[in-house]
Each structure stands twice: as C-alpha cells, then as structure tokens.
Chains A and B, each alone.
Chain A
Amino acid sequence: MENKLKKILIVGAGPSGIGQECELDSAAFQALHVWKRLGIETFLLDNNPYSVILQEMNADHVYIKPVNTDNAKHVIESEHVDAITSVFGGVNALKVIQRLNKNGILEENNVDIIGLNKDNIDLFNNENRLNQRLKEYGIPTPDYYIVSNFDELRNVIDKISFPISVRPLDPKTRQQRSIFQNMEQVTNEADNIFDESKSGKCLIEREIVGYKEIGTVSLRDTMGTKMMISSLEDMNPVGVNSNDSVVFTPSQTLSDTQIQMIRSISFEIMDVLGIKGVCHVQFALNAETDDCFVLKVNPSFNMSTTLAARSTGYPVALVTSQLLLNYPIMKVKLPERFHKFTSILQPISDHITVKIPIWPFEQLPEADARLGTKTKSIGSVIGVGRSCEAALLKGIRSSQSSPKDVLPSYSELSEDELISQLIHPTDIQLPILFEALSRHYTVEDLHELTKIDRFFFIVMANIDQSRSYILQHQNDPKAFRLAHEMGFGDGMLSSIWHINIDKLRRKDSYKTYKMIEPTAGEFPEQINSFYASYEIDNESNQIGNKTALVIGKGRNKIGPNVASDFYTSELLIQLKKIGFNTVILNNNPNSASLAPMMSDKQYIEPIQLGEILDVIQTEKPKYVFLPGNRHFLIRELSKYAEINLVILPPNQKNAVWYGSHVDFAFDLLVTDDQIIPISTVGFKSEDGSDDINLQTDYYVPYGKDALNIDSLVQKAKVAVKNQNIHGLVQVLFYKDQDQIKITGVRPLRITETVLLNMSTGINWIGVLVRMATGHLNIEKIKKEVPKIDSSTHFTVMQASFPFKQLGVYDYKKDRSLESGAKLSIGYTINEATKKLLK
C-alpha cells in the first residue's frame, strides 16, 4: 500500500494575488522536506519568483513556466514523473490536472494523481455536479432548481420562500449571483439573468444569508482514518466570503452536537469522494434548527488549512505530505522535535485564534470595499490568546497598517453612515462595530443590524469596557494587568496614558509565554511556537546563546510585500545555515516563515514595539534582523544600545536620486573595502514610459544594446563610493541622447534581489546575512559571480496586479501596487517575455 512513487510533479499556484499569498508555498516547502527524506524526486512547475521552494529546489527540477496544461504535459513527458499533485497549487493547478486527466495525458504517461480519486476529480470546481453527488449520499447541500423561462422561475419561487439567490447557468462572462428579496426585484432582473446564460437557463437557490458560516479542516489516510484538525467559525454570517470574514478558531458559538455533526459530514465527504490528505469543507449552519448545508469542498491546501495548522500547532503539511503517498497516519514520521504521538492525537487547543483579513483598499481607494461573496482580501493576520478578547484584540492590532500600536477612530462618522456601515460591512467593519459599542448600541441592536452572533458583541463590549476602565485608571497596576489580559499593547497604553513606553514597561514582569501545541498540555514536549498570556507558568525560555531574531513583516499589503515575506523566510534559512538558532516573530498565518521547519522557534504576536522588546528580553538575540522598509521600528529599536539591529535590505531612505528616468541599472555588492559588480538590469513599463516608478518588468541582463561594461563599472563604482550604502546596491542609468547619466543610487530592493538570485544562481540573501554577521568569504563570492553579462539567457520578472479581480481599471501599473510577480527565462528578451504568458 505504501509509497511506490519516485518522481512527483507539484503543479504550482503561479503569482500570488487576491485570496492567495504564501500559504501554498509554505505547505509545499514542508512537503519538499518530507519527500526528500523519503527519497522522492520532486519537480515543480511554477513561475512565482517569491516562492521558497522554487529557490530551495535544485534548479534542474524547477520548470519556470506559467502553470498551464501544455507546460505540465511537457514536464510529465520529459521527466517521466509517476505522480502529479495540485494540492499546493490552488484552483488553477486543479484545473490543469483535470484537463490532463480528461485528454488522456495522465493515462498515456502512467501518471497518478495523488490525494484525489481520478474518477471524482471532475467534481471539483463544478458546484452542480459536486452537489448532485453529495446529495446521492444524503449529504445536505443547498437545494437548487434549474429553470429556463420566467414561468418556471415563478413556479419555483412559489415553492421556496424569499430571499432567493439566482444565477445564470454557463454564464457568458463571469459567474455572478443575485439575491432577491421580493417578486418585484425578480421581475425587473429576470431577463438579464437569462440573457447572461449561454444556455438561457438559470439556477435558483434558497438564500441562506444569515446562516452561520463554519469551516472544518480534516485529514484522511489511505486506511480511511479521519481526524478533524480544527473548526473555523466566521464572525460574519453567510454572505461574506470566508476569506473576507473575521474567523474564530476553534469555533466559539456552536454546541458540541453541531460541531460533531459538521465533523461527521466532513468525514463522510472525504470518504465518498475518496479524498486523501487534507480537506477543507465550508458549511452554512442555522444554529437554531441545526439545519446545515455544504457550501464548498476544497481537497487541497489553502488559507483555511494553513490557519488550522498555525492555530493548533498540528503539523498539517508534514503529515499530509505523507498521507498523500499512502502512508497510514499511524506510520507517519515527524521530525524529532515533535512528540511521537503528535500526528495521531486529534488536535485540541487551550487557546483561541482569531484571523483578521487584510484588504488592499487603502492603496486602491477606488475599489468597492463592500464585503460580499467574492474574496477581496489579499491575506490575513492572526491573534492568539487565552480568551476571545485577547485573541481578537491582538488580531486587530496586528491588522493595522500603522506600526504605532494605535487603533483608528471613527468617532467623526455620522449616525447614518455608521448604520449604513453596519448593514453593509466593508474593510473597516471591526472598528465600526467598536465605534457603535462606544456609542451605546446594545448587543441586541447590533445583532439585529448585522446578523452576527451576539456572543461576538459580548466579547467586543468587554474590550470596550476595559478600555474605558483603563482610560479612567491612569498608571494603575490593576488597569495595567487588565489591559494586558485583554490584549492591549504597551504602545497603546503609552499613548492612552501619555507615558513613555520604557517607563511603562518596567512594571511588566508577569508575561508568560504559552506553547501553541495540539494537545492542550498533555504532550507539549517540543513544539517551539509561542504566544503570550498573563498567568503563572511561563513555557518559553532563551533558546541558546547564538540566536538571531527575525522580525517578520506581519500583515501583507499590495506592493512588494509577498517578496519581503519570501525574504524573511530566506533570512531564516540562511541564518540557520551559518549556525544560528533562529527565532521568528510574525503573525501572518500564511507566511512560509511560520512553517514548522523554517525556524527553531516561533512567536505569534503583534509586531509592535512592546512585543518585540519582550521577545528580545527572553531570547537575548545576538542579532535582530528587520527586513523591509520599516522606518518607525528602525527608529525605535535603534534607541536601544543592547540591540544589534540589522536592517536588510538597507532603508530605501538612503537612496540618492538625480532624476526620475531610467533605462537600465547596474547591481553591485558593496562591502567596507570592495565593490564587486554583478550584473546589468533592464526595465520595461507597460506604456513605454521611462519613469522609474512605472517599470513593471525587470530583466537581467540588460542586453538591449552593446554597453561599454568597463566604463559603466567605473561610473557605478564612483557613484557608490560617494554614498554610504552597503550590501547590494543598484546604480540606475539614463540615456540622454548619446550620454549615459546616473539617475540614482539605491539599496537593491527585495524584488530585484530575488531576480538577481534567479539570474546568477547565487543566494544573495545568504551573502547579505553572512556579511552582516561577519561570516562572508568575499574571495569566494568573487569567484562565484559570473562574468558580467556572460549569461546565455535572460531572466525576466514581471509584476502582476490585482486590478481586474477588484474591478478597478484607473490605476497605473506601479510596482507599489503589485500583488505578485511572474518569472520567465529565455534565450532572448523577446522569448523570455513571451514565455511569461505561455
């Protein structure tokens, strides 16, 4: 029964974007680790440059190409793989495998699909067929009717009551559902809906808006053993996509009977569909009647499975990657740091995790911020606490774009605006609910307006009341303690009480770190993941003498954030390689940096000054790495003489600009006494503009026309010498008629560092880490750097943007708005550019 597979192809996810950040990469990284140990050769088809596995795998096993059927076929045929999997690649990867299966390529090449049953694979991404199949087994799915004219539509409406949801079948454009409250609305819209369908038919369902939306994440092995990892409860009822809802895990307002019901149904679904490995099921549940329906079945990794893994501490990806190879769960092997029973104990938690989505509306104010059934968030953060209050407030603090540990105020909002915001939630739903509470809206009022379970308002009201108490009890030890227990931060107290944070912190000596592990204390041995509480027993002690702390990026936003998350993970990998104990502080559950094998120890806490100082106090790190441009934290942490702060890459504020046009650039490595030229870089913008901010494509080398490399190197060296920038430095040039002028000198940005890694085959993040810690062998690097522009191929990186998914078209493609990127390699620039698409 067990694994006979030798070669597996991972169909990747492509660039990150709306509804997908690094969670798939995080899972794949762990699978890679396991499969390597089991002697399996893994191949990857993907073109996402900010992917840890793409960086860490042997280059000859990585196919940097768009994820499509032709390219997958090519890999299958040239590598003779035994099996293929979409579990790390999301919906697109699944579609690719469905097509490969349909057109016989898998059978022809004798390729297995792991995790899914070939006979059932077409059911996924096809709601109607899936529902039909589940119905055959008595699994409740929403009842629906298909009608082809208005009379039939009216007949159905007589049978089911309003509100109803109607959507075109085989839609001509994108699938869209409309919700109707009464017959008049139906009459007005019906023609449009029938028109929108290729077959002139539409599908009607009883609308279940107002039901609770609950998720489960479960595992199943080849023997049919099943285990529920966690339940996930959306704060918002059905109507807001789960990705866009605040989520509490484990669920907080369901009875045990309801939990067991959805657990059993999830198991039955995995049985009848033959799913092995991990499965996320989404339910609508009427808590009064226990009525429930299956909304979604997703047999692969996604943000929910990752949330379940991070929140329980159960190593979902490490286990799943073995279940996929037909190992029974009893034979799954985990790395030594886990307890021998970890994999077979059904996870239980003695803490609560709250996920808060992150949306890009701050940077894209034109986008419609109202939350609905379509995902608009780009990622999420989590707060972990011993109570719902602490978990929620820590989550909210982590979700703020300001690094200053303050919450936004909406006290200026008019009453009408407030009510409208309550009824139609947007990205500011949580602060709006707090605003309403402070205006003395009752729990009952809020429940009426929002249909959110009263319980969540009780939690919020507790936080609100504590806030009032804290305001009134300046510098009172009782208020101080209450604040901490409720999840308030030192930064918040410092600003509420107008007291310097250091003065405040001297009082704080009762923080206890608790382990995030899946047995609630029964077998806690070695899972090195922690959150803070204020109790009597601290479980986290200094891990060792030679420690490097990396301060993760926390919440993602559009712009080069996915890249800096990748950078964070690479820092950890590289620091480990040179013998440091690595500690990460982060709160983005999707970040690969929080994957169990990525670091020696993880702290999941708000990334605020108070929390950072606390971790530093416990770990006493030799170095504190701060990736990304974080002016506030750089300024604040620099005040402490005992903190050895490493800012990588150096602050972009150090850049020097002489102009704003750019044609090409030169990347160099600058140390105290040497300047090593690395490569030329070319730029391209969508509309041909040479404005530095609008360059969406980078390619290495520049190679467009012959450059006098020697003279450029000289120019660049002179330019660099005049500046005090170390590490990777980019000198930008502009061609003014026949003259080549310098546009600016800047620290090489994260995105382009990734490109340079790919084009030179040198891990430059590793070089920077060695340089910062005194481990760099500069002569060795000199030998490794390829001769400038000697490469036979071009590497291109092109930014991708979330505009279409968010329905906004008025923005210029500026890299500060990118949501991900694509990578491509070709013998000419043209070839490489073409391969971005095909």
Chain B
Amino acid sequence: MTKRYLILNDGTSFVGKSIGAESTVTGEIVMNTNLNGYQESITDPIYHNQIVAFSQPSVGNIGINRKNYESILTSAKGIVIHHSEDISTSYLKKISLDSFLTQRNIPGITDIDTRYLLKYIMKHDIAKASLVDVNDEHAFDQLNAAVLSNQQIQQVATPKPYLVPGNGKTVAVLDFGLKEGIVRQLAQRDCNVIVLPFDTSYQEIIDLDPEGIILSTGPGSPHEIDDSVLTTINQLEHALPVFGMGLGHELLAMANGASVYRMKLGHHGSNHPIKKIITNQIIYANQAQDYAVDPDSIDTSKLIVTYIDLINGTVQGIRHRDYPTFSVQFSPDGSSGPTDSIDLFDEFLESITAHGR
C-alpha cells in the first residue's frame, strides 16, 4: 500500500496508507462514531461530498453486502480509517471494502490514529481536509483555496419521479438526497411510494393524490433550498400528514417560521441520548447532523418540541399543534443505527388513516 496523507486546513498532517482509489480529494471532514454500518454510511447521500472518518477501529470486516446500500450512485468523497481487514481472498462472492472504493473511485486512507483525529477535530476548528500523496505547501494551498460545492442536494436528489409500488397507502417522498432506509421502511409497510424531485410543485404533488408526504434526509445546508420549496411544504402540511427527517426536519421547521443554524460541532453517531419529552424516556438513533433548529426561534403556538438531544441540547423533533405534521432530526429508519424510534413510521401511517376519516 502506498503512503498517503490526510491534511487539515489548519496545517496539520497525518500520514497513513492508501486504501481504495488513489485520487486526491478535498472536502468537509466529519467523524462518524457508529460502531457498525460503514457501508451504509459510505453510501448514505447525507455524506455526499464529505470525507468521512470512522472511529470504529476495524472497518471492512464484512465487505460490501447486497442488502446494505443506502444509495447506489452517491457516496462519501473519501474515507479515513484506522485499520481495515482485506477479506477479498476469503469470501468468493463478497466485494472487499478496498475494491469497492476503487470501483467507485473513492480514495481512502488507513492506519490513521482516528481516536486522536476525533479529539483533534473536536478541539480545533477544522472545516476542510484533503487526501493527498504529498503533504507539501502546495497541497495545503490547494486545500485552503478549495471552494466546496453548495449544490450537494441537487447533485444527489432524484431529477425524475419514480415509483416503488405497493398495495398499501400512497406516500409521496420529496427527495432531498434520500437514504434508502426510508423507502425500505415504507416498503415493509407495503406503502405505494412515489419518490419526487424536491422542487416538485404543490399542485403536481396533489395531482398524484398521495395520502401522506415524507420530507427526506439529505446532505448539506437547508439554506441552499429555494424558498418556494418551503412554501410548498407549508401548503402540504395544511392538506396532508407530513413526516420530515434530517434535512426534511430542518426544512419543515423553516417552513413554519423557525430558523436553522450551523452547529459549531456536528454529531455523526448513535450514542447520544435523545429524550422523548412526552414519555421522559431516552432513545438512541443515528444522527448525522451539522445543522440544528434554533429552539428560541420556534413559534410555540404552532410547534411543539418533541425530542431533545441531552448532550448538546439540540432540538431533535417537532410536531405541529394543528396539523398531523411532525419531524425528527435523527434517522428513525436505522440503517445504520438503532431502530428504537422505528414506530414513527407506523405513527405516520396511523395519522394518514386518521386524516382520511
């Protein structure tokens, strides 16, 4: 394996070995602390354009599996790991992480002290990183000069509507960079799923006669979304049950007048206790969060806060007082991550049933 470097925008450099493609990339760097599910994370559109560093110590143990894609085309921009097992020689049918990354032209770096990296990133203001062959001045100049795209959502969201047929309720999913876990949950509940480009107009959506609306997860900033989408969301919640997740949650909050801010330190993992306010219970869920809804901006005559992260205090869920509309910041579908809140999908379908009466 060839020598590679992970360099950070503050001038720090880590030496490691190459895994996957050997190209040079620059992007935002995030630490993912999930214990499992590296394939899900690498293929989750939420990490589009980002370099994902994993704190799980050994990545690649089970290769790449047919059931664990969160999307087919999109993926993280690069990965940073501590250690990887080469399983390619031993399982006939399985693709190893290394060959998967090579096929998808995703560069990676291994043999990194990811524990130190995590502590370092938490302490310092690190925005950008590059994976490079040489850690010279030129490389740092390039890194600092790089302008990161703000078009992540447009790059990963579906440009064309498509159907995932089922015999149950018809649910329209506005795709902001949808992870397949959401569709998987709907499919398991036999929903008839229509996935739509996120900028589909209110009338076009209503003409398809869906019984409920899902605002999907996605990468990047909610501020990059056009105000017209917020207007559509606002109209939709008057008409139908709406369920937002991740980016969809942030947009739903904004559509109801709340503001969303960029967190100083994002959180990507599933270890934080999330308090379900109504029962006073703690649940755990996969969070991949760089933005949060400002609790002070919430109009409490319209919205109720339903979940809260007990560690960083961020709003993790809201519910509309007047409409069957709710959203959560985390991923209730799991994949990867706990399924403690998977019943939110049932709750959504129940609200469709109740709404139809």
Which residues of A line the B interface, CB within 8 A? 223-227, 250, 252-257, 259-260, 263-264, 267, 328-330, 341, 344-352, 386-388, 443-444, 454-455, 457-459, 462, 512, 514, 519-522, 524, 535-537
Chain A residue with the shortest CB-CB distance to B68: A255
Question: Given contacts A225-B281, A330-B282, A386-B82, are A519 and B61 in contact (CB under 8 A)?
Answer: no
Whether a CB of chain A sits under 8 angstroms from the CB of B17 is no
Among the listed B85, B273, B279, B281, which residue makes an inter-chain contact with A346, where contact means beta carbons less than 8 Å apart?
A: B273
Interface 9-mer from B51-59, B140-148, B165-173: B51-59
Cβ B282 vs Cβ A256 within 8 A: no
Chain B residues with CB under 8 A of A524: 119
Cβ B36 vs Cβ A254 within 8 A: yes
Which 7 pairs between the two chains have the least Cβ-Cβ distance?
A256-B37, A537-B116, A256-B336, A535-B113, A256-B36, A344-B273, A520-B55
Question: Given contacts A225-B282, A260-B339, A454-B90, are A255 and B62 in contact (CB under 8 A)?
Answer: yes
Which residues of B line the A interface, CB within 8 A? 14, 33-37, 40, 55-58, 61-62, 65, 67-68, 82-83, 85-87, 89-91, 113-116, 118-119, 122, 269-273, 275, 279-284, 310-311, 334-340
Cβ B118 vs Cβ A522 within 8 A: yes
| Distance from A484 Cβ to chain B, minimum over Cβ atoms (Å) | 14
Cβ A350 vs Cβ B115 within 8 A: yes
Q: In the complex the two chains form, what is the Cα distance from A387 to B116 in whole Å? A: 16
Question: Given contacts A223-B281, A257-B335, A260-B339, are A348 and B57 in contact (CB under 8 A)?
Answer: no
Chain A residue with the shortest CB-CB distance to B82: A386
| Distance from B19 Cβ to chain A, minimum over Cβ atoms (Å) | 14
Cβ A350 vs Cβ B55 within 8 A: yes
Cβ A350 vs Cβ B114 within 8 A: yes
Chain A residue with the shortest CB-CB distance to B88: A458
Chain B residues with CB under 8 A of A386: 57, 82-83
| Distance from A301 Cβ to chain B, minimum over Cβ atoms (Å) | 22
Cβ A260 vs Cβ B65 within 8 A: no
Question: Given contacts A257-B335, A350-B56, A350-B57, are A345 and B271 in contact (CB under 8 A)?
Answer: yes
Cβ A457 vs Cβ B90 within 8 A: yes
Cβ A349 vs Cβ B337 within 8 A: no
Question: Given contacts A255-B62, A330-B310, A386-B83, are A264 and B339 in contact (CB under 8 A)?
Answer: yes
Q: In the complex the two chains form, what is the Cα distance from A345 to B89 in whole Å? A: 38
Chain B residues with CB under 8 A of A264: 338-340
Cβ A348 vs Cβ B269 within 8 A: yes
| Distance from B94 Cβ to chain A, minimum over Cβ atoms (Å) | 10
Among the listed A344, A348, A349, A459, which residue makes an inter-chain contact with B85, where contact means beta carbons less than 8 Å apart?
A: A459
Chain A residues with CB under 8 A of B275: 330
Q: In the complex the two chains form, what is the Cα distance from A254 to B273 in whole Å? A: 24
Question: Given contacts A260-B339, A455-B87, are A252 and B61 in contact (CB under 8 A)?
Answer: yes
Cβ B85 vs Cβ A350 within 8 A: no
| Distance from B135 Cβ to chain A, minimum over Cβ atoms (Å) | 14
Cβ A537 vs Cβ B282 within 8 A: no
| Distance from A325 Cβ to chain B, minimum over Cβ atoms (Å) | 18
Question: Given contacts A255-B68, A256-B40, are A444 and B282 in contact (CB under 8 A)?
Answer: no
Cβ B86 vs Cβ A344 within 8 A: no
Cβ A387 vs Cβ B58 within 8 A: yes
Cβ B310 vs Cβ A344 within 8 A: yes
Q: In the complex the two chains form, what is the Cα distance from A812 to B233 in whole Å? A: 82
Chain B residues with CB under 8 A of A253: 61-62
| 20 sampled A-B residue pairs with Cβ under 8 A | A223-B280, A225-B281, A250-B36, A256-B36, A256-B337, A330-B310, A346-B284, A346-B338, A348-B33, A348-B34, A350-B56, A387-B82, A455-B61, A455-B62, A458-B87, A514-B115, A519-B33, A520-B56, A536-B113, A537-B116
Q: A223-B279, A345-B273, A352-B58 are in contact. List 10 more A-B contacts (CB 8 A).
A: A255-B62, A259-B35, A344-B282, A344-B310, A345-B311, A349-B35, A386-B83, A387-B58, A537-B113, A537-B119
Chain B residues with CB under 8 A of A328: 280
Q: In the complex the two chains form, what is the Cα distance from A330 to B281 in whole Å? A: 9
Cβ A255 vs Cβ B58 within 8 A: no
| Distance from B354 Cβ to chain A, minimum over Cβ atoms (Å) | 25
Chain B residue with the shortest CB-CB distance to A457: B90
Q: In the complex the two chains form, what is the Cα distance from A421 to B1 in whole Å? A: 37
Cβ A521 vs Cβ B65 within 8 A: no
Chain B residue with the shortest CB-CB distance to A263: B338
Among the listed A227, A259, A351, A444, which residue makes an inter-chain contact with B284, where contact means beta carbons less than 8 Å apart?
A: A227
Cβ B58 vs Cβ A252 within 8 A: yes
| Distance from A115 Cβ to chain B, minimum over Cβ atoms (Å) | 19
Q: In the complex the two chains form, what is the Cα distance from A462 to B84 in whole Å? A: 12
Q: In the complex the two chains form, what is the Cα distance from A534 to B179 in whole Å? A: 37
Chain A residues with CB under 8 A of B271: 345-348, 519-520, 522
Chain B residues with CB under 8 A of A341: 310-311
Which of A348, A350, A536 has the largest number of chain B CB atoms within 10 A? A350
| Distance from A239 Cβ to chain B, minimum over Cβ atoms (Å) | 22
Cβ B67 vs Cβ A255 within 8 A: yes
Among the listed B37, B116, B283, which residue makes an inter-chain contact with A536, where contact means beta carbons less than 8 Å apart?
A: B116
| Distance from A379 Cβ to chain B, minimum over Cβ atoms (Å) | 26
Chain B residue with the shortest CB-CB distance to A514: B115
Chain B residue with the shortest CB-CB distance to A519: B271
Chain A residues with CB under 8 A of B283: 225
Q: In the complex the two chains form, what is the Cα distance from A387 to B284 in whole Å? A: 26
Cβ B282 vs Cβ A351 within 8 A: no
Q: In the complex the two chains form, what is the Cα distance from A254 to B35 in whole Å? A: 11
| Distance from B321 Cβ to chain A, minimum over Cβ atoms (Å) | 26
Q: In the complex the two chains form, what is the Cα distance from A257 to B62 in whole Å? A: 12
Chain A residues with CB under 8 A of B337: 256, 260
Chain A residues with CB under 8 A of B83: 386-387
Cβ A521 vs Cβ B55 within 8 A: yes
Q: In the complex the two chains form, what is the Cα distance from A264 to B269 in whole Å? A: 18
Cβ A521 vs Cβ B119 within 8 A: yes
Q: In the complex the two chains form, what is the Cα distance from A388 to B67 in whole Å? A: 25
Question: Given contacts A345-B273, A345-B311, A351-B57, are A388 and B85 in contact (CB under 8 A)?
Answer: yes
Chain A residue with the shortest CB-CB distance to B118: A521
Question: Given contacts A344-B310, A537-B116, are A350 and B334 in contact (CB under 8 A)?
Answer: no
Q: In the complex the two chains form, what is the Cα distance from A346 to B116 in whole Å? A: 20
Chain B residue with the shortest CB-CB distance to A442: B90
Among the listed A344, A350, A443, A512, which residue makes an inter-chain contact with B82, where contact means beta carbons less than 8 Å apart?
A: A350
Question: Given contacts A255-B62, A256-B68, A347-B271, are A224 and B87 in contact (CB under 8 A)?
Answer: no
Chain A residues with CB under 8 A of B279: 223-224
Chain A residues with CB under 8 A of B14: 536
Q: In the complex the two chains form, what is the Cα distance from A117 to B86 in whole Å? A: 48
Among the listed A227, A388, A458, which residue makes an inter-chain contact with B86, where contact means beta carbons less than 8 Å apart?
A: A458
| Distance from B199 Cβ to chain A, minimum over Cβ atoms (Å) | 32
Chain B residue with the shortest CB-CB distance to A352: B57
Chain B residue with the shortest CB-CB distance to A454: B90
Among the listed A348, A443, A522, which residue makes an inter-chain contact with B35, where contact means beta carbons less than 8 Å apart?
A: A348
Chain B residues with CB under 8 A of A349: 35, 57
| Distance from B53 Cβ to chain A, minimum over Cβ atoms (Å) | 11
| Distance from B8 Cβ to chain A, minimum over Cβ atoms (Å) | 14
| Distance from B312 Cβ to chain A, minimum over Cβ atoms (Å) | 10
Q: In the complex the two chains form, what is the Cα distance from A329 to B284 in whole Å? A: 14
Chain A residues with CB under 8 A of B270: 346
| Distance from A212 Cβ to chain B, minimum over Cβ atoms (Å) | 12
| Distance from B311 Cβ to chain A, minimum over Cβ atoms (Å) | 6
Chain A residues with CB under 8 A of B340: 226, 264, 267
Q: In the complex the two chains form, what is the Cα distance from A459 to B337 in whole Å? A: 26
Which of B33, B35, B337, B340 has the largest number of chain A CB atoms within 10 A? B35
Q: In the complex the two chains form, what is the Cα distance from A292 to B273 in whole Å? A: 28
Q: In the complex the two chains form, what is the Cα distance from A780 to B304 in whole Å? A: 68
Cβ A257 vs Cβ B281 within 8 A: no
Q: In the complex the two chains form, what is the Cα distance from A521 to B35 in whole Å? A: 13
Chain A residues with CB under 8 A of B90: 443-444, 454-455, 457-458
Among the listed B85, B273, B335, which residue makes an inter-chain contact with A455, where contact means beta carbons less than 8 Å apart?
A: B85
Chain B residues with CB under 8 A of A519: 33, 271
Which of A226, A256, A260 has the largest number of chain B CB atoms within 10 A? A256
Question: Given contacts A346-B270, A521-B55, A536-B116, are A255 and B89 in contact (CB under 8 A)?
Answer: no
Among the listed A224, A255, A263, A537, which residue makes an inter-chain contact with B115, where contact means beta carbons less than 8 Å apart?
A: A537
